[in-house]
Amino acid sequence: MRSLQIVGVFLTLFSAQLFALDRSVIAESPEDVTPLLNGQTIPSATLRTATGAPVSLQAMVMQKPTIILFYRGGWCPYCSRQLAELKDIEQPLIDLGYQILAISPESPARLQEQKLETEFAVQLLSDESLQAIKGFGIGFYVPMETKANYKAKKNIELTAEAGSDRAVLPAPSVFITDKSGLIKFNYVNPNFKVRPSAELLLQAAKLSL
C-alpha cells in the first residue's frame, strides 16, 4: 500500500512539472519539444490571415470547437498531403460544429500564394512572429546546415526567431479544443513524415465533443 502511495506522489509531482514547463523556450530539436497537454488551455497569440489582417487565436476559438493544425509550410509535401486529406473529412467536421485552423510560420504573402495554388478550404494562418508555436511548446531550431540547404536547393526562406538568424519550425501537431480553449486531444510527432490519418482525426473530433 505504501509503495502505491509513493508511486502516486511521484506521478502527481511529475504531472505538475510537465504543466509548469516554460514552453516559450524553443527546443534544440523536434525530439525535445514540450507541447501542451490535454486539459491545458491554449495560449494567447496574434496570428495573421493570408491578407495580412491580425486575428486573435483565442477569439477565433471562442466561436466554435476548433481543430488547430500546425504545419511546416506549403513547401513541405507531407504537410500539403495532410491538408489535402482534410478535404475528405471537412464536411463531417463542419457538421459536427468544428472549424479548422491551419497555422504555419510562413508569411501572409506566402499563404496567399499557397491559397491560390491549392484552394484549401481550411483557414490558413501565419504565425510568422512564432507566438503560437512558442506558446504551444512545439517550436524547435533548425540546424544551420539544414537552413542553408533549404535556401540553396529549394529557395525556401525559413522563418527566424526575432533578433536571431536561427530558423524555427513547428513539430507537426494537431490540437482539438472546445470553445473555452481547453485542449481535448493532441497529436505531436517529431518525425515530420508521420501524420495522423484523416479517419483518426475525425474519430478524435467526435470523441472530443
pLDDT by residue for the chain (209 residues), tens digit each? 444 343 333 333 334 444 456 777 899 999 999 999 999 999 999 999 999 999 999 999 999 999 999 999 999 999 999 998 998 899 999 999 999 999 999 999 988 887 655 566 689 999 999 999 999 999 999 999 999 999 999 999 999 998 899 999 999 999 999 999 999 999 999 999 999 999 999 999 999 99
In single-letter form, the type of residue at position 36 comes to: L
Q: What's the whole-model pTM score?
A: 0.88
Burial class (CB in 10 A: 0-12, 13-18, 19+), 168: buried
CA gyration radius, the chain: 18
Q: Which domains does the chain have, with CATH numbers?
A: 24-207 (3.40.30.10)
Task: Tally Cβ neighbours within 10 Å of residue 199.
Answer: 11
